[in-house]
């Protein structure tokens, strides 16, 4: 049953006489408390915050003095008391509330400065189960929600970034209703994100794949000029997941990343991470979230040039991802072509100097590569709901490849198969990828027909060959990968016509026998992976 409103209009300006400060993140808290004290505001505090303020020479009252009860149970119980919550929740203009405050000796609390135990940080650092549980804050969220609910009379601030705005409000002698509203909205968003982190951790720790309630939380990293298109609003939120990538990278130079930049850069870096640096340098070039070239080589410069050779036309204005430190020679090669973003684990001084000559070129440094095998979640919205699934962390090296044709692949063909299948995992379905000698030879993405994907990939290979002055396209003698099973033999026949001599695909079609027979007739080797990599 809904609770009826008291229908008492909120005052526009509220003078602050008493403030409660209880923070885990003590950034700027001493300076703020000093500013409050200068305004003649009484300070209440708890535990470590009280000690910090007292050590700074400020006059501060311990919460236990107003509750008449000491902190107990290692600080788990200290603010869960009517003298605290009554002071936060009382409607100041309601006679019944005022009488209750007088009867029970409850003083009004006009300002609450509260932030929470660092649960997200503990989780990100891999804290053990007991430590993580101990960092679930109880009193903090309760006080935040109480103060936020009563924002008609109480100001709640949960983010140190808002301290200066609060001080600005107090310079006028009181906080405005609009300020209190905004801070209340932010407070509830904060506790929602906090509870989201806790619930998702429990689901992960207890291996609950489909919890009854699933929420996605994030912290605003930056507002954007627009989204995928200029008429769409957008912002970038980070989840706190400790995974090297665009969300955690440092932007060394260049203008703000756009919505599309972030989406494409993430796709590029996740792809290049499939190629471990201990196995040699690798480069991936992405355009509109699809790879237009991927390659490995003895040097990073050569890997870039080989990736570019796959589709130099599409690479214009693309995203370049590298699996190892960007060096000066590679940087000099990259800046010859207009590029939007470079993302790499690091960049040496020579490379940074070269990139600096292109002030609009964004350079992102991540400090490492994401582990392709790490579990995680991906989500997308649909009308009225969320589709949530585990991250596609399957890797071809971990699969039991099954040779299904009369001819087994050669050692080189097998390596090219694995390379092509790694790339196909990151290409929008339907996906067909040709590869030869650690280099993508042609990529067909996102077609409604797999045959069309095979043909487009072959056509791009022919165009690239002409651009490089080659006698024949790299698809001749290549391996070809399909991210899902070949439903008919026609897709295989198109790949064979393009010059492919080996095929890797998941298998599992009703017509597998027909496809295998076509491969045998052409003398082509084929392996099944047993794992599909649809990507939409």
Contact (Cβ atoms closer than 8 angstroms) between residue 316 and residue 338: yes
> Average pLDDT of 106-118?
92
Torsions phi, psi of 325, nearest 5? -60, 130
HEC profile for 385-421? Answer: EEEEEECCCCCHHHCCCEECCCCCCCHHHHHHHHHHH
Contact (Cβ atoms closer than 8 angstroms) between residue 245 and residue 364: no
pLDDT band at 470 (very low <50, low <70, confident <90, very high): confident
Mean pLDDT of the chain: 92
Q: Tens digit of pLDDT for each residue in 297-327?
A: 999 999 999 999 999 999 999 999 999 999 9
| Active-site annotation, residues | 149, 288
State percent of the chain over pLDDT 70. Answer: 98
d(CA 453, CA 444): 4
Answer whether residue 9 shows pLDDT above 90.
no
d(CA 268, CA 476): 26
Alpha helices (H) in 219-369, listed in sequence order: 259-272, 300-310, 328-334, 349-356
pTM of the model: 0.85
Answer whether residue 42 shows pLDDT above 80.
yes
d(CA 147, CA 128): 32
Least confident span in 72-81, 179-188, 326-335, 394-403? 72-81
Q: Tens digit of pLDDT for each residue in 384-441?
A: 998 989 999 999 999 999 999 999 999 999 999 999 999 999 999 999 999 999 999 9
Report CA-CA distances (Å) from 134 to 120, 123, 218, 239.
Answer: 12, 11, 22, 21
Q: Of 489, 358, 357, 486, which is closest to residue 424 (Cα–Cα)?
A: 486
Ramachandran area for residue 169 (φ above 0: left; ψ -120 to 50: alpha; else beta): alpha
Q: Tens digit of pLDDT for each residue in 435-465?
A: 999 999 999 999 999 999 999 999 989 988 8
HEC profile for 441-489? Answer: EEEECCCCCHHHHHHHHHHHHHHHHHHHCCCCCCCCCCEEEECCCCCCH
């Amino acid at each position: 049953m809904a609770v009826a409103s008291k229908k008492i209009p909120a005052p526009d300006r509220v003078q602050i006489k008493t403030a409660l400060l209880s923070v885990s993140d003590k950034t700027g808290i001493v300076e703020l408390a000093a500013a409050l004290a200068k305004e003649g505001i009484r300070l209440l505090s708890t535990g470590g915050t009280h000690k910090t303020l007292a050590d700074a020479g400020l006059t501060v009252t311990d919460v236990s003095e107003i509750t008449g009860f000491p902190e107990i149970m290692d600080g788990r119980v200290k603010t869960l008391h009517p003298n605290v919550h009554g002071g936060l929740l009382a409607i100041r203009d309601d006679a019944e509330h005022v009488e209750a405050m007088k009867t029970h000796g409850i003083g009004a609390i006009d300002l609450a400065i509260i932030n929470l135990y660092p649960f997200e940080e503990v989780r990100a650092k891999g804290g053990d189960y007991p430590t993580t549980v101990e960092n679930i804050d109880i009193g903090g969220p309760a006080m935040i929600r109480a103060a936020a609910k009563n924002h008609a009379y109480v100001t709640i601030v949960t983010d140190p970034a808002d301290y200066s705005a609060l001080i600005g409000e107090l310079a006028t002698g009181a906080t405005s209703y609009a300020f209190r509203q905004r801070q209340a909205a932010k407070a509830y968003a904060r506790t929602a994100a906090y509870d989201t982190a806790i619930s998702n951790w429990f689901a992960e720790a207890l291996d609950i794949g489909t919890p009854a309630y699933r929420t996605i939380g994030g912290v605003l990293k930056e507002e954007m000029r627009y989204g995928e298109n200029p008429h769409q609003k957008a912002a970038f939120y980070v989840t706190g997941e400790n995974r090297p990538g665009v969300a955690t990278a440092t932007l060394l130079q260049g203008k703000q990343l756009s919505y599309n930049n972030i989406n494409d850069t993430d796709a590029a870096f996740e792809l290049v991470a499939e190629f471990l640096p201990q196995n040699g340098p690798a480069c991936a070039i992405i355009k509109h979230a699809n790879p237009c070239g991927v390659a490995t080589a003895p040097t990073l410069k050569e890997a870039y040039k080989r990736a570019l050779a796959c589709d130099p036309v599409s690479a214009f204005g693309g995203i370049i991802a590298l699996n190892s430190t960007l060096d000066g020679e590679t940087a000099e090669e990259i800046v010859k072509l207009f590029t939007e973003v470079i993302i790499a684990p690091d960049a040496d001084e020579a490379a940074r100097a070269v990139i600096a000559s292109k002030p609009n070129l964004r350079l992102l440094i991540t400090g490492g590569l994401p582990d392709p095998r790490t579990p995680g979640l991906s989500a997308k919205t649909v009308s009225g709901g969320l589709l949530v699934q585990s991250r596609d962390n399957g890797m071809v090296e971990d699969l039991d490849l099954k040779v299904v044709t009369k001819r087994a692949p050669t050692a080189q063909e097998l390596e090219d198969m694995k390379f092509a299948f790694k790339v196909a995992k990151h290409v929008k379905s339907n996906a067909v990828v040709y590869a030869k000698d650690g280099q993508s030879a042609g990529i067909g993405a996102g077609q409604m027909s797999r045959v069309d994907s095979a043909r487009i990939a072959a056509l791009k290979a022919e165009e690239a060959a002409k651009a490089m002055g080659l006698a024949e396209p790299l698809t001749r003698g290549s391996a070809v990968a399909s991210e899902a099973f070949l439903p008919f033999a026609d897709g295989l026949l198109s790949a064979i016509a393009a010059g492919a001599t080996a095929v890797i695909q998941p298998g599992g079609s009703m017509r597998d026998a027909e496809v295998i027979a076509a491969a045998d007739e052409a003398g082509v080797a084929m392996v099944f992976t047993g794992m599909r990599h649809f990507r939409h």
